[in-house]
Structures are given as C-alpha cells and as structure tokens.
Amino acid sequence: MERVYNFAPGPAMLPQQALETAAAEMLSYQGTGMSVMEMSHRSKGYQAIFDEAIALLKELMHIPENYTVLLLQGGATGQFAAVPLNLLKTTADYADTGNFAHGALSQAKAYGDIRCAASSREDNYTYIPEITKDMVNPDADYFYICTNNTIFGTRYSSLPDTGKVPLVADMSSNILSEPYDVSKFGVIFAGAQKNIGPAGLTVVIVRNDLLGNPSPLCPKVFNWTLEAEKGSMLNTPPT
Ligand SMILES: Cc1ncc(COP(=O)(O)O)c(C=O)c1O
C-alpha cells in the first residue's frame, strides 16, 4: 500500500515501523490475547508500557532527577488552564507570540492577574519579540512562552533569561525535534500528536519544587501534584 507524505502539523505522520508493530500486535499484544487498547490500565502489562514510555522520554530529553513526568489527557489546551491552576498565586507574565500563546494567555486571565509582557500580535505574529530581563516581573509566579508557534512558523532561537521566575513552555510542535536543557524550565508541556505519537496524550514535565501548591479550584484531573502522587493514573489513561 502506498503511503502519502503528510505534512500536517498534527496529528502527524507516525514512523511506519511503529504502525506495523502496532498492527501486528493488534489482536494479541505479547501473547496476552488482547490489544493494548483493551487492557486494564491497572494491569502489570500496561504499567510496564507506561513506565517504559516515561523512561524513554527521560533518557531522550536528559530530564534531571528533580523533575516529574506526567502523561495526562485534555491536550495542550487543557494545560492552558492547568498552568495557572497549578502555579498562579499572585501574578504571571505571558509572551503573546501566536495563536496558541494567545489562547493560553486568554485562558489564564480567567484565573487571576495575568500580564502580557511581550507581544507581536499587532504585527500578525511575524516575529518573536525580544524579551530582556528587565521585561520580566521578578515577582511573577512564572513566565510563559510557546517555543514554536505552529501556525506562524516562528520559534525562539534562544530562551529568555527569566532569572528566578520559572519558565513555562508549550513545546507542542517542537518537543524532541531539537535538544533543550530541561533544567532551564520550570514546566514543559506538549500535546503528543505532533512530535511524539498519536493524539490523546499530553506530556507535562514539571520541576518538583513547583508541585504541592495548586489552587483549590484546580480540577483533580489537571492537578499535577495529585497526578504525580497517582503515577498519572488518577483516572483511566488512553491505553
Ligand atoms: C503550540 C501548540 N499549542 C497548543 C496546541 C493545542 O493542542 P491540543 O490540540 O493538544 O490541545 C497546538 C496544536 O493544536 C499547538 O501547535
């Protein structure tokens, strides 16, 4: 069968080898007599798949020990709300550099005092505005960026220096496509469907000191602290 080149940003092409392996295991995964999609998420077999996925991501991204990797649902869009609900205490800064950064900024405004610290919106997002240290509110709970602006095709060639203010990044459309020093970030999140795998999964990488103080309004499924305690399986994941 002829495959086409699919240049859509996501859901994106998956490696043929991965599709063939999944197809071969569709009726019986490793002799279990069932597909992975039919497995209990509480079974040892499924837990092994889950653990291996996290271990491989840690290895590929050189994720330091003091970070927790969560595999959640709700897409990157869910994290537009989860970020303020887990991190916002007083105020936060956002860089408005494209459609998805703007979506995150608008969503966060529902939860508190959010400042747009830098923007290229008036110029139709044709560039990434320069972000100097004096533009960062040192009292902000976090500084938010979208590392790659999927629709506008712009990306940060260097990360802003936010000092002690944790840098939070939506990496949905460039995670794993270039090396990043994870220790420069407080939080990285990404929908899986562009650069990692099929749709239905959201990766959140959070520095451990940022856990433990979510808003009481935070829904349990978006509560990073609770999900970390539950091994990302507070409820049924997309097996
Ligand atoms: C950078 C970026 N952020 C967020 C999203 C929204 O992701 P999701 O559909 O997983 O909510 C997308 C694409 O859809 C994106 O490219």
- Is the pTM higher than 0.85? yes
CATH of the domain at 190: 3.40.640.10
Same domain, 21 and 109: no
Q: Is residue 1 part of a domain?
A: no
> Distances in Å between the alpha carbon of 1 and those of 4, 19, 182, 191, 212?
10, 13, 40, 29, 51
CA-based nearest residue to 196, from 173, 212, 215: 173
> Distances in Å between the alpha carbon of 29 and those of 43, 170, 239?
13, 33, 12
Alpha-carbon Rg for the chain, nearest whole angstrom, is 19
How many structural domains compose the chain? Answer: 2
**Is the CB of residue 79 below 6 angstroms from any atom belonging to ligand 1?**
no
| 94 beta partners | 116, 144
**Is the CB of residue 160 below 6 angstroms from any atom belonging to ligand 1?**
no
| Both tokens assigned to 16 | 């043929």
| pLDDT of the residue at 55 | 98
For residues 234 and 59, what is the distance between their CA atoms, to the nearest angstrom?
A: 25
Ligand 1: centre distance to CA 29 (Å): 31
Same domain, 124 and 215: yes
Same domain, 111 and 167: yes
Same domain, 185 and 73: yes
| Both tokens assigned to 105 | 């900024």
**Is the CB of residue 76 below 6 angstroms from any atom belonging to ligand 1?**
yes
| pLDDT of the residue at 52 | 97
| Enclosing domain of residue 122 | 62-229
Ligand 1: centre distance to CA 75 (Å): 7
**Is the CB of residue 73 below 6 angstroms from any atom belonging to ligand 1?**
no
| Both tokens assigned to 24 | 């071969």
Same domain, 138 and 175: yes
Sequence-distant (6+) residues with CB within 8 A of 234 are 220, 221, 223, 226, 227
Digitized pLDDT (tens) for each residue of the chain, 239 residues in all: 789 999 999 999 999 999 999 999 999 999 999 999 999 999 999 999 999 999 999 999 999 999 999 999 999 999 999 999 999 999 999 999 999 999 999 999 999 999 999 999 999 999 999 999 999 999 999 999 999 999 999 999 999 999 999 999 999 999 999 999 999 999 999 999 999 999 999 999 999 999 999 999 999 999 999 999 999 999 999 88
Given ligand 1 and candidates 72, 106, 170, 172, which is best to mutate, with the most ligand atoms within 8 Å of its CB? 172
For residues 196 and 140, what is the distance between their CA atoms, to the nearest angstrom?
A: 31
Same domain, 38 and 85: no
Q: Is residue 235 part of a domain?
A: no
| pLDDT of the residue at 238 | 86
Asked if 103 and 219 count as a contact pair (C-beta separation under 8 A), the reply is no
Same domain, 56 and 69: no
| pLDDT of the residue at 58 | 98
Neighbour-count burial of 44, counting CB atoms closer than 10 A to its CB (0-12 exposed, 13-18 middle, 19+ buried): exposed
Same domain, 153 and 171: yes
| pLDDT of the residue at 188 | 99
**Is the CB of residue 174 below 6 angstroms from any atom belonging to ligand 1?**
no
Give residue-wise pLDDT tens across range 90-143.
Answer: 999 999 999 999 999 999 999 999 999 999 999 999 999 999 999 999 999 999
| pLDDT of the residue at 239 | 86
| pLDDT of the residue at 1 | 79
Ligand 1: centre distance to CA 210 (Å): 23
